[in-house]
Each structure stands twice: as structure tokens, then as C-alpha cells.
Amino acid sequence: MGSLLRFGNMTTDVSGLDLNDATIIRVIEDTDLRNLTFELTYPLTEHDSDFKRKNVTFCTCRRYLVEEEFCFFGQPMIKGVEIDDRGSEGIIFRIQTNYGFREVSCSFIYH
């Protein structure tokens, strides 16, 4: 799979999408548009004075699955992401966290 995914007239370049070690602060569902927005923060580096924040919006979602441990303390941290291009069906993101995994099936993303 290449880093450029096309769906109709939408184009999403996922080559600059780096989610590793980001902490999921919250997930916001827009039921009207069928979008999920992940609010993320990234760890501090020696050059940062504050946590970097980023939003990733999964558009026209068909499925969102959370399979994580029930009892955990703190917010989940992303350990890895697999991206599966399903052609006209959209994209499936498999997000491995320190508590389990999440899976999002959508048409395209904004990041």
C-alpha cells in the first residue's frame, strides 16, 4: 500500500501521520456527519515547553471498535498503527494501545 489513498474526490496523504506514543485524551463522535475525532497529546521532548496536541478526524465512519482492558488507570497510549487500504470500502485503522486495541473503519481522514 502506498502512502496516498484516494476515495472519490477526497485524497488523504497518511505519510505524515505519526500516532506512535500519542496519548488519546478523548474521542468525539459527530453523529450527524458520522465522524470520529481523536484528540491526542504527544510526549514532551527536550525542545518542547508544552505537550503537543493534535486532532485526527476519521470521516464517514462505518465501524469503531474498542477492545481494551476494563480496569486501567490513565489514558491509553498508542503503541502502533496498521493501515489497511480496502479500495472502495475505505480505510481500516488498527490502533494498538497499551491497554488493548481500537479499530476504525472510515472513508478518509483529516490530520
C-alpha pair distances (Å), 59 with each of 26, 50, 89, 105, 110: 16, 29, 13, 9, 8
What tens digit of pLDDT does each residue of 21-67 get?
Answer: 999 999 999 999 999 999 999 987 777 777 789 999 999 999 999 99
Q: What does the pLDDT read at residue 44?
A: 77
- Give the chain's domain count: 1
Phi, psi of 89 (to 5 degrees): -80, -15
* Parent domain of 74: 4-110
